[in-house]
Amino acid sequence: MVVKNLDQLIAIVASATPLTKEAYPALGELTGERKVAFKIGHSLRHLSSSSGDMQKTIGDAEHGDPIDIALLRRKVFSASFSICKLCEILGISGKQLMEGVENLVEIEKAHK
């Protein structure tokens, strides 16, 4: 698979991870905003899990353990996967994601 842009990556993640009532029976009982909230929450839990794993690894390193760079890299990829899923759920295009991050870079530059 060769991904050429963020929109394609978001679409690939979306197709690989359909949040359906077959996979998540609780979805069958939800409608509208409650269904969207479930999907967002599910993706946020995955993102939090990746973040927590990275925090633990760094916390352990602060106490003398070696830094597990391979694990940190895997978790960055996992977090990025979750971000792509959130983009799909929230209707954020690849261009909008890039523009949003670029805007944050400009805000950070202005604070220095």
pLDDT tens across 63-96, in order?
999 999 999 999 999 999 999 999 999 999 999 9
* Class of domain 6-110 as given by CATH: mainly alpha
pTM > 0.85: yes or no: yes
Q: How far apart are CA 94 and CA 100, in angstroms?
A: 10
Residue 1: per-residue pLDDT: 80
What is the H or E stretch that residue 100 is in? Answer: helix 94-110
- Per the CB < 8 A criterion, the answer to whether 85 and 13 are in contact is yes
For residue 47, what pLDDT band results from cuts at 50, 70 and 90?
very high
Question: Which is more confident, 3 or 72?
Answer: 72
C-alpha distances (whole Å) from 21 to each of 25, 34, 75, 87 are 5, 13, 27, 20
Query: What's the alpha-carbon Rg for the chain, to the nearest Å?
Result: 17
For residue 55, what pLDDT band results from cuts at 50, 70 and 90?
very high
Q: What is the mean pLDDT of residues 28-37?
A: 93
Residue 112: per-residue pLDDT: 81
**Where do the structural domains in the chain lie, given as residue ranges?**
6-110
Residue 98: per-residue pLDDT: 96
Express the helix, strand and coil content of the chain in percent, nearest 5 each: 75, 0, 25
pLDDT at residue 45 greater than cutoff 90: yes
pLDDT at residue 2 greater than cutoff 90: no
